[in-house]
Amino acid sequence: MAVSWEDQGIILAVRPFGEHDAIVTLLTEAQGRHAGIVKGGSGKRGRGVLQSGNLVRAWWRARLDEHLGTLTVEGLRSYAAEAMSSAEVLAGLMALCAMAEATLPEREPHAEVFRQTLHLLEHLGIPGWEAHYVMWELALLRDMGYGLDLSTCAATGAADDLAFVSPKSGRAVSRVAAAPYIPRLLALPTFLRDENAKAATSDIGRTEIAQGLALAGHFFEAHVFGPHRQQIPASRTRFAARFS
């Protein structure tokens, strides 16, 4: 008996399969990261819809649940086309898709990650979207069980003047407590420690975005990629380099 599902999904990757077909990987709301074969997906007809970052309605079907199966997709919103007007926004979109594909386990529901990813896609190109990207990466880390504790100082327990993060514990450190160890610590940008700054993301400078990307990148490398001897996706590295 065949198995099937219908869901909305964000296209993470499209790879040629044979002469005319494509293997498409989606981040779906209820099914998690899920791939399938799109018949004719390498042809001109599907080229506009089958772009990383696009939101689609998807139908998956297979003879057995463990099979790759086939996908039929219908475009809902072309975020990829919207990102084309800015090289930096497009770089952010590619980094987002690559990070989600590289980190999320296959066929495991991550509904909150899906919602946060869709929220970020809706903000791409809007002033302050880069800060939303950093917060999305930290939310992805948290969903995977590696959330940072940026609420109080690891050394004193105080919630004031937090300015650094321990690269080992992932906990915030106040400026005073950090004084003897600053070269060993990661910078904590204001927009990640101040709720008012979070609300005013359009005022955040590129240096702080670089700090936020370095912070998230360190913990992805330490907990997600490094233990498996993998590299952080190249598109994410290129995106971060724009702010260095």
pLDDT number for residue 200? 55
Q: Note whether 206 and 134 are same-domain residues.
A: yes
Handedness of CA 230, 26, 139, 240 (dihedral sign): positive
Does residue 104 form part of some domain?
A: no
CATH of the domain at 44: 2.40.50.140
Residue numbers of the domain that contains 51: 3-79
pLDDT number for residue 1? 66
Residue ranges of the chain with per-residue pLDDT less than 70: 1, 194-202
Residue found under tokens 């077909």: 21
Backbone angles phi, psi at 113, to 5 degrees: -65, -40
Does residue 168 form part of some domain?
A: yes
CA-closest candidate to residue 41, choices 25, 64, 53, 61: 25
Q: Report d(CA 37, CA 131) in Å as an integer.
A: 35
pLDDT number for residue 193? 86
Q: Please write the tens of the pLDDT for every residue from 62-82.
A: 999 999 999 999 999 999 999
Q: Report d(CA 161, CA 33) in Å as an integer.
A: 39
Q: Note whether 67 and 161 are same-domain residues.
A: no
